[in-house]
């Protein structure tokens, strides 16, 4: 689909007259394929859509200036072009940053938010420095080495040993992105705004899911968010790290289903 200066690649189950539309936003540096287990594991009365963020996967880069605000604007335009009046967003990691910023910009089109392995805080100086070091490493050693190192951060050791299909899927999604876009997206995340002050203004139900062994999103960050959001459910999933939708798929899909039935479709 053509949106402004880019073409967006997306997955959709093309459901007609769904009870609810659930739109997935992938994390960095992945693409829409990270949500394939959800497309085969959720009820058939839910319309499922998963786009590639600008410059990731099959979506084009356009003008090449990346920011979370630009990604959020792309998302809002994409939803409007699809003609969807209300949508539930499910964002993983960077996808959560985009979801929260999109809600700030256009709250009326969202019916609910699912925040998976993500938080509302801007980068600290230490995290920014780590991103800049990562950019230098990608430019020097390439995305293959980057992909191998990234896998160790987002999966538990047990998942790496026992779920080779999920690990290979993530490695593949990383390698499909160019070094330039990986670096540009890192810069976009480093420059993002802090959406924490607006959490108390969220007027739709929110589900927060975190893997108990997540090395990237802390329990403390999540608890701060839970205290600020008016209508929120928080779930910790044991035995997984940053990608519970791939590591504990059945539990993850069950939590999404229960949230949609109890909070959105009732």
Residue 194's pLDDT is what?
Answer: 98
pTM: 0.97
Sketch out the chain's domains with CATH numbers: 2-264 (3.40.50.1820)
Q: pLDDT per residue over 128-142, tens digit each?
A: 999 999 999 999 999
Q: pLDDT per residue over 194-230, tens digit each?
A: 999 999 999 999 999 999 999 999 999 999 999 999 9
Rounded to the nearest integer, the mean pLDDT of the chain is 97
Judged against a pLDDT cut of 90, whether residue 266 lies above it is answered with no
Q: pLDDT per residue over 78-98, tens digit each?
A: 999 999 999 999 999 999 999
Task: Please state the three-class secondary structure of the chain as a single string.
Answer: CEECCEECCEEECCCCCCCEEEEEECCCCCCHHHHHHHHCCCCCCEEEEEECCCCCCCCCCCCCCCCHHHHHHHHHHHHHHHCCCCEEEEEECHHHHHHHHHHHHCHHHEEEEEEECCCCCCCCHHHHHHHHHHHHHHHHHCHHHHHHHHHHHHCCHHHHHHCHHHHHHHHHHHHCCCHHHHHHHHHHHHCCCCCHHHHHHCCCCEEEEEECCCCCCCHHHHHHHHHHCCCEEEEEECCCCCCHHHHCHHHHHHHHHHHHHHHHCC
What is the pLDDT confidence band of residue 170, given thresholds at 50, 70 and 90?
Answer: very high
């Amino acid at each position: 689909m053509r949106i402004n200066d880019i073409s967006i690649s997306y997955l959709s189950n093309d459901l007609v007259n769904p009870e609810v539309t659930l739109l997935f936003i992938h994390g960095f540096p992945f693409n829409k394929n990270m949500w394939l287990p959800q497309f085969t594991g959720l009820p058939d009365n839910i319309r499922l859509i998963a786009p590639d963020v600008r410059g990731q996967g099959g979506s084009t880069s356009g003008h090449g200036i990346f920011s979370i605000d630009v990604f959020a604007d792309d998302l809002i335009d994409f939803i409007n072009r699809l003609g969807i009046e209300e949508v539930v967003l499910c964002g993983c990691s960077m996808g959560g940053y985009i979801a929260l910023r999109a809600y700030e910009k256009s709250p009326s089109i969202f019916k609910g938010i699912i925040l998976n392995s993500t938080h509302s805080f801007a980068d600290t100086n230490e995290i920014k420095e780590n991103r800049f070091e990562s950019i230098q490493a990608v430019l020097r050693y390439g995305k293959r080495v980057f992909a191998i190192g990234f896998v160790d951060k987002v999966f538990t050791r047990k998942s790496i040993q026992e779920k080779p299909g999920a690990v290979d899927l993530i490695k593949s999604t990383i390698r499909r992105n160019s070094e330039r876009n990986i670096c540009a997206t890192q810069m976009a995340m480093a420059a993002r705004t802090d959406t924490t002050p607006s959490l108390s203004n969220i007027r739709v139900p929110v589900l927060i899911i975190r893997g108990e062994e997540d090395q990237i999103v802390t329990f403390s960050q999540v608890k701060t968010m839970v205290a600020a959001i008016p209508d929120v459910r928080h779930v910790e999933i044991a035995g997984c790290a940053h990608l519970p939708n791939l590591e504990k798929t059945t539990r993850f899909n069950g939590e999404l289903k229960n949230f949609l039935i109890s909070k959105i479709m009732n």
